[in-house]
Chains A and B, each alone.
Chain A
Amino acid sequence: GESVGLHLPTLSVQEGDNSIINCAYSNSASDYFIWYKQESGKGPQFIIDIRSNMDKRQGQRVTVLLNKTVKHLSLQIAATQPGDSAVYFCAENIKGNQGAQKLVFGQGTRLTINP
Chain B
Amino acid sequence: AAGVIQSPRHLIKEKRETATLKCYPIPRHDTVYWYQQGPGQDPQFLISFYEKMQSDKGSIPDRFSAQQFSDYHSELNMSSLELGDSALYFCASSPVLASTDTQYFGPGTRLTVL
Contacts and interface: CB of A to CB of B under 8 A. Distances in A.
A25 interface: no
Size category of the binding interface on chain A: 20 to 34
B33 interface: yes
B99 A103 contact: no
Contacts of B90: 43-44
Contacts of B101: 101
A51 interface: yes
B42 A101 contact: no
A95 B98 CA distance: 9
Size category of the binding interface on chain B: 20 to 34
A42 interface: yes
A70 interface: no
Contacts of B64: none
A42 B107 contact: yes
Given A102-B33, A102-B45, A34 B102 contact: yes
B100 interface: yes
Interface of A: 31-32, 34, 36, 41-46, 49, 51, 89, 93, 95-108
Interface of B: 4, 33, 35, 42-45, 48, 50, 55-56, 58, 90, 92, 94, 97-108, 110
15 contacts: A31-B100, A32-B100, A43-B108, A44-B90, A51-B100, A89-B43, A96-B55, A98-B56, A101-B48, A101-B97, A101-B103, A102-B48, A103-B103, A104-B45, A105-B44
